[in-house]
């Protein structure tokens, strides 16, 4: 069995975000449990990034598995156009209870990119249905919202999008607000808004994940959202990464006074078990599509919309998120990261640390080094030590499952300290 998977993989598989000529080797993973991944030779790795922020309650969580297994024997899949079912209805009831209070309606899809794509379509058609031609989207510099065309267009980080840029929708960008730049941004926006051509604004609240966990304060964002809402620009919070407890509250938008018109959810929504996404919105947004005129409806739909198994996984995940056990774990991890941050903050190789909830990032002071090789070197060092972390440029970040033990967390910290010693 040794290395069987990685060899067989090469024959027919094409991996995401991969230049196969430069990176031909894939690691075969054969199982996972809790915070651990096991490769095909039995070596274990702590999943320090929760497999891209999905399995926050641990891999192969028995509580979730049992619920999904029971559902599997009841109803596996059914068309969600003209039909409905218990898991979707129950999920709508439970999710609305924990979402920001202005959210009323849920639209299902399959992944983070489709959830933002739908948010963008909602914003464009919201105005179109009211006879207003607003064709421009507003977004933050360095944002990331996914890899489909609308999502790519609004992403400011799309460094590898060359072949597609001619086909992008019209987007204007503003910088993430700081105390220094926010007045300027607001005054530019006030002018720009006079033209009434901006349909919507999409943003990652508090933390920009793909931009290497860049964090910013709620206050400036709140002022921008407030101004935009007064000018009928639909505000779209992309909480695909930040949702479900990672920032210390259920949603990052809970920490911002002005609530978004639309919220995009995926990743931890189904606790890492199945792909699914939801775009939620306010009654006001929904009402702009509610009409005797068929063409005013939102004619968007995916085959697996509201799959009953994925809805069941999401319901089990929400129950866990609300439990004392998980909430205590979140507090424990926040405190533990704070302590670690203090410990390494003054290290000569550390340019800076930052934290938002259970998301912790450290920037290495590596001005003199070449980035590409070094990133691979860091990654290898982590993996050799049984820790799966994926540095973004010179940023190392931790976003571990809530169920990670103190010992496992210490192992991640020790390995990062080891890296500081070798760079």
Ligand X SMILES: *Cc1c(COP(=O)(O)O)cnc(C)c1O
Sites of contact with ligand X (CB under 6 A):
111-113, 116, 144-146, 204, 209, 238, 240-241, 266
* Residue (57 or 144) nearer to ligand X, CB: 144
In the complex, minimum distance from the CB of residue 410 to ligand X, in angstroms, rounded to a whole number: 27
CB of 36 to ligand X, least distance (A): 23
For the chain, the 3-state helix, strand and coil shares in percent, each to the nearest 5, are 40, 15, 40
Closest distance of CB 317 from ligand X, Å: 16
Q: How far is the CB of 222 from ligand X (least distance, A)?
A: 19
State the nearest-atom distance from the C-beta of 196 to ligand X, in Å.
Answer: 28
Query: What 3-state DSSP class applies to 51?
Result: helix
As a whole number of angstroms, the distance between CA 354 and CA 161 comes to: 29
For residues 204 and 261, which CB has a smaller minimum distance to ligand X in the complex? 204
First-to-last C-alpha distance (Å) of the chain: 35
What's the rounded Cα separation, in Å, for the pair 287 and 278? 18
| Residue 205 vs 248, nearer CB to ligand X | 205
**CA distances (Å), 395 to each of 183, 189, 352, 416, in order?**
29, 31, 9, 11
Provide the minimum distance between the beta carbon of 199 and ligand X in the complex, in angstroms, as a whole number.
19
Distance CA 393, CA 212 (A): 8
Our CB check for ligand X shows the closer of 71 and 266 to be: 266
| Minimum CB distance to ligand X, residue 254 (Å) | 17
- CB of residue 267 vs ligand X: minimum separation in angstroms? 6
CB of 115 to ligand X, least distance (A): 7
Round to whole Å and give the CA distance between 59 and 47. 9
Contacts of 97 (CB under 8 A, 6+ apart): none
Q: In angstroms, give the least distance from the CB of 396 to ligand X.
A: 18
Cite the beta strand spans of 345-411 per DSSP E. Answer: 350-356, 359-364, 387-388, 395-398
Measured from the CB atom, the residue of 64 and 237 that comes closer to ligand X is 237
Q: How far apart are CA 224 and CA 202, in angstroms?
A: 12
d(CA 323, CA 154): 36
Which residue do the tokens 């320090």 mark?
48
Which residues, including other chains, have CB under 8 Å from residue 145's CB and lie 6 or more apart? 112, 113, 116, 139, 151, 154, 155, 202, 204, 238, 240, 264
Compare residues 144 and 244 and give the one whose CB is closer to ligand X.
Answer: 144
Q: Structure tokens of 244?
A: 């479900």
Pick between residue 238 and residue 261 the one whose CB is nearest to ligand X: 238
Phi, psi of 396 (to 5 degrees): -105, 130
Nearer CB in complex with ligand X: 240/404: 240
Q: Closer CB to ligand X, residue 210 or residue 288?
A: 210
The smaller minimum CB distance to ligand X, of residues 239 and 363, is found at 239
CA angle 397, 405, 330 (to 5 degrees): 65
DSSP secondary structure code for residue 326 in this structure? H
């Amino acid at each position: 069995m040794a290395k069987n998977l990685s060899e067989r993989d090469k024959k027919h598989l094409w991996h995401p975000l991969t230049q196969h000529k430069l990176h031909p080797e894939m690691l075969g993973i054969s199982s996972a449990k809790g915070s651990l991944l096991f490769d095909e030779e039995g070596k274990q790795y702590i999943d320090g990034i929760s497999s891209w922020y999905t399995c926050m309650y641990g891999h192969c969580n028995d509580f979730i598995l049992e619920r999904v297994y029971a559902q599997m024997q009841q109803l596996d899949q059914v068309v969600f156009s003209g039909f409905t079912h218990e898991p979707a209805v129950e999920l709508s009831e439970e999710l609305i209870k924990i979402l920001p209070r202005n959210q009323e309606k849920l639209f299902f899809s399959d992944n983070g990119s489709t959830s933002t794509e739908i948010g963008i379509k909602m914003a464009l058609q919201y105005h179109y249905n009211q006879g207003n031609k607003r064709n421009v989207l507003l977004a933050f510099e360095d944002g990331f919202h996914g890899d489909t065309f609308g999502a790519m267009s609004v992403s400011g980080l799309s460094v590898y999008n060359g072949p597609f840029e001619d086909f992008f929708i019209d987007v204007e960008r503003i910088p993430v607000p700081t105390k220094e730049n926010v007045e300027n941004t607001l005054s530019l926006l006030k002018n720009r808004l006079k033209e009434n051509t901006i349909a919507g604004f999409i943003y990652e609240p508090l933390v920009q994940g793909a931009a290497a966990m860049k964090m910013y304060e709620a206050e400036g964002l709140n002022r921008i959202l407030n101004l935009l809402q007064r000018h009928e620009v639909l505000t779209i919070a992309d909480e695909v990464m930040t949702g479900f407890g990672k920032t210390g509250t259920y949603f990052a938008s809970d920490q911002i006074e002005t609530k978004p018109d639309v919220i995009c959810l995926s990743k931890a929504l189904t606790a890492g078990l199945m792909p699914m996404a939801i775009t939620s919105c306010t009654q006001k947004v929904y009402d702009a599509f509610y009409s005797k005129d068929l063409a005013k409806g939102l004619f968007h739909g995916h085959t697996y919309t509201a799959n009953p198994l994925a809805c069941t996984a999401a319901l089990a995940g929400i129950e866990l998120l609300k439990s004392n056990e998980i909430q205590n774990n979140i507090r424990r991890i926040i405190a533990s990261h704070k302590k670690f941050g203090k410990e390494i903050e003054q290290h000569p190789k550390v340019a800076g640390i930052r934290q938002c909830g259970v998301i912790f990032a450290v920037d290495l002071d590596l001005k003199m080094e070449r980035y590409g090789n070094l990133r691979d070197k860091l990654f290898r060092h982590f993996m050799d030590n049984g820790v799966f972390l994926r540095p973004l440029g010179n940023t190392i970040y931790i976003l571990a499952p809530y169920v990670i033990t103190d010992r496992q967390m210490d192992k991640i910290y020790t390995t990062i300290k080891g890296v500081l010693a070798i760079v």
